[in-house]
Amino acid sequence: MTQIFSLAVFCGLLWMLPSPATAQAPGGAAARQDANMESLTQGEALIRTGQLEKAEEKFNEVLKRDPKNVAALVWLGEISLSRRDLPKAEAYAQRAERANSNHAPVHTLLGSIYEQRKDSQKAEIEFKKAVIIDPSYLPGRLLLGRRYLADGRTEQALEQYREAAKSAPDNKSARDNLVMAYLQTGRAVDALSEVKAMVLKWPKDPALRNTLGALYGRNGDSTRATQEFQEALKLDPNFAPAYLNMGDNYVVLNDRPNALENYVRAGQLSPNLAEAHWKAGDLYLAGRKIDEAIAAYQRALLADPNALIPTINLARVYSEERPDLKQALNLAQRAQKLAPDDWYVVDVLGWVQYQLGKTDEAVRLLEKATRAEPQAARPRYHLGMAYLKQGKKAAAGVELRQAVALAPNLPQRAEIDKLLDELPR
């Protein structure tokens, strides 16, 4: 749902036409208005290409000529908000509201600022104002829908997304957001129906074919999923997301070679697609191709340094497969910052601490991991070994027996059986 926020900031729907009175201004006023329109248009184009500083210059040019120009004030507020400079964003929003309180983009900007300040009640009030002022203004409805979703008001949220899609049936972003809302609220059938309708309207869009394939896959129809991914690739042979989803589909079919081939292809076409790299890494690791797995995880982290899965899996590789405990600790601690309560992350970090000889810290972490996921054998095995190192033989026996009961085929089974023969029951 974060895409909805970026839509409100950068989709161009904040564009504001001049009022009839201003548009008909004579002489020098008309010339200034033409100059303002030109600068606003140029600024919006710069925003679309990510050139925020240059866009900022254009909007400031407008304010020099017209300090109460609401369009420029709102755009500058949105730019400040995108930089998380809330005081500056709020100052621009307040100036815009004083200049024209009856303008929908002013209130979506204010609402977004309140959301960043964690004041959901005030945010909702502002988004509602935007919808009342202009029911056809898409960001107002989309942001209000997101607000309702965050509060668990599913039907109210869907009403806003449906109204947005209804008021702009030719706007893909509005309909994409409706699909996301359906999926987030468990309405997979409705999502599938909407995407089918979108494919009929835009049959040459590979992204829509890819989405349709993903939805078929989600519903367990691998055959139709494959067909749609192939259609996407016919439309655009270099469309990396289709290769990524094709890889997922092959994993479901337990066809690892074809899955790996598609993940690798996706990563080659789109080096910044971190998910393709780490999924290839997972398959390399499962196939005991450790060097290839390390390289794939490293590519994933180059694409996204905050990606949790390659961070923690690479930590595990350096802990167990290619021992480098310094790197393992660094990666596991980074992962813990990203997901402090994830049992697998806590388990890997706990085992690294065990290997480093920090047994008490290892026990603390491994006990946390087993509490978080009591049915996981791995942290129980690790906790048993840590208890054994502390001299707690009875507690170690309990954990090791539980580990083999949960996973009789644990790779460490022979070692565990030997230890259990020597431990009290």
Rounded Cα distance, 154 and 160, in Å:
10
Confidence of residue 273 (pLDDT cuts 50, 70, 90): very high
Neighbours of 87 (CB within 10 A): 8
For 147-178, what is each residue's pLDDT tens digit? 999 999 999 999 999 999 998 899 888 899 99
Rounded Cα distance, 185 and 110, in Å:
27
Average pLDDT of the residues in 20-27: 38
Q: Where are the alpha helices (DSSP H) in 120-254?
A: 120-133, 138-150, 154-167, 172-184, 188-201, 206-218, 222-235, 240-252
Question: Which tokens belong to 9?
Answer: 């900031």
- Nearest-10 crossing angle of helices 138-150, 2-10: 160
What's this model's pTM, rounded to 2 decimal places? 0.78
Average pLDDT of the residues in 69-87: 93
State residue 34's pLDDT score: 79
Is the C-alpha dihedral spanning 36, 38, 44, 49 positive or negative?
negative
Distance of alpha carbon 411 from the chain centroid: 34
pLDDT over 70, % of the chain? 92
CATH homologous superfamily of 341-425 equals: Tetratricopeptide repeat domain (1.25.40.10)
State residue 248's pLDDT score: 95
Average pLDDT of the residues in 259-278: 97
State residue 29's pLDDT score: 55
Rounded Cα distance, 220 and 214, in Å:
10
For 92-107, what is each residue's pLDDT tens digit? 999 999 999 999 999 9
State residue 49's pLDDT score: 86
State residue 50's pLDDT score: 86
Whole-number CA gyration radius for the chain: 27
State residue 425's pLDDT score: 74
Is residue 20 predicted with pLDDT exceeding 50? Answer: no
Question: Which tokens belong to 357?
Answer: 């000889």
Is residue 9 predicted with pLDDT exceeding 70? Answer: no
Is the C-alpha dihedral spanning 358, 359, 365, 366 positive or negative?
positive
pLDDT over 90, % of the chain? 81
Domain locations along the chain: 341-425
State residue 8's pLDDT score: 37
For 196-211, what is each residue's pLDDT tens digit? 999 999 999 999 999 9
Rounded Cα distance, 316 and 351, in Å:
9
Confidence of residue 380 (pLDDT cuts 50, 70, 90): very high
State residue 358's pLDDT score: 97
Confidence of residue 408 (pLDDT cuts 50, 70, 90): very high
165: DSSP letter: H
For 31-60, what is each residue's pLDDT tens digit? 667 788 898 999 988 988 889 999 999 999
423: DSSP letter: S
Contact 332, 348 (CB under 8 A): yes
Query: Among 23-32, 62-71, 137-146, 337-346, where is mean pLDDT lowest?
Result: 23-32
Mean pLDDT over the full length of the chain? 90
Rounded Cα distance, 233 and 226, in Å:
11
Measured distance between the N- and C-terminal CA atoms of the chain, rounded to whole angstroms: 52
Is residue 25 predicted with pLDDT exceeding 60? Answer: no
State residue 6's pLDDT score: 38
Which residue has better confidence, 277 or 9?
A: 277
Confidence of residue 19 (pLDDT cuts 50, 70, 90): very low
Contact 104, 140 (CB under 8 A): yes
Cα 62 to Cα 69, 104, 133, 384, 390, distances in angstroms: 7, 20, 25, 69, 71
Rounded Cα distance, 234 and 228, in Å:
10
Is residue 180 predicted with pLDDT exceeding 50? Answer: yes
Is residue 222 predicted with pLDDT exceeding 80? Answer: yes
Please spell the DSSP secondary structure of 180-213, one letter per residue: HHHHHTT-HHHHHHHHHHHHHHSTT-HHHHHHHH
Cα 179 to Cα 170, 199, 209, 280, distances in angstroms: 15, 13, 14, 28
Rounded Cα distance, 254 and 261, in Å:
13
26: three-class secondary structure by DSSP: coil
For 286-326, what is each residue's pLDDT tens digit? 999 999 999 999 999 999 999 999 999 999 999 999 999 99
Number of H-type helices and E-type strands within the chain: 25, 0
Is residue 250 predicted with pLDDT exceeding 50? Answer: yes
